[in-house]
Amino acid sequence: MKKESITIQMDGEKLRAVKRYMEKKDADLTKELCDSLQKLYEKYVPSSVREYIDEGIEGEAPAEASPKKQKEKIRQTAEPRQEEQ
């Protein structure tokens, strides 16, 4: 899955302070932010959506799936399944 970046702003003095004190505790700011973002993802994204995304990640070849295949997969998931009688 393609990684994307986010940019946030913080008061410079506060940012320098948090970096300084995290270094003293051998903590990595980027890792901590990524961990926090993962927790937000797990908190707010419904489990069914997370499962769908995870299935897409597992099913992809090293190159990303073509847009046509992605649309087909979404269509199959979105269509109600008819029960046979």
pLDDT of res. 33: 98
Q: 13-56, pLDDT tens digit by residue?
A: 999 999 999 999 999 999 999 999 999 999 999 999 999 999 98
**Spatial separation of the C-alpha atoms in residues 29 and 13, rounded to whole Å:** 15
- Examine the pLDDT at 73 and tell me if it is beyond 90: no
19-56 per-residue burial string, b: 16 or more CB within 10 A, e: under 16: eeeeeeeeeeeeeeeeeeeeeeeeeeeeeeeeeeeeeb
Do 28 and 22 touch, CB atoms closer than 8 A? yes
pTM above 0.85, yes or no: no
Round the CA-based radius of gyration of the chain to a whole number and report it. 20
Domain boundaries, the chain: 26-57
pLDDT of res. 85: 45
- C-alpha torsion sign, points 38, 42, 46, 47: positive
pLDDT band at 1 (very low <50, low <70, confident <90, very high): confident
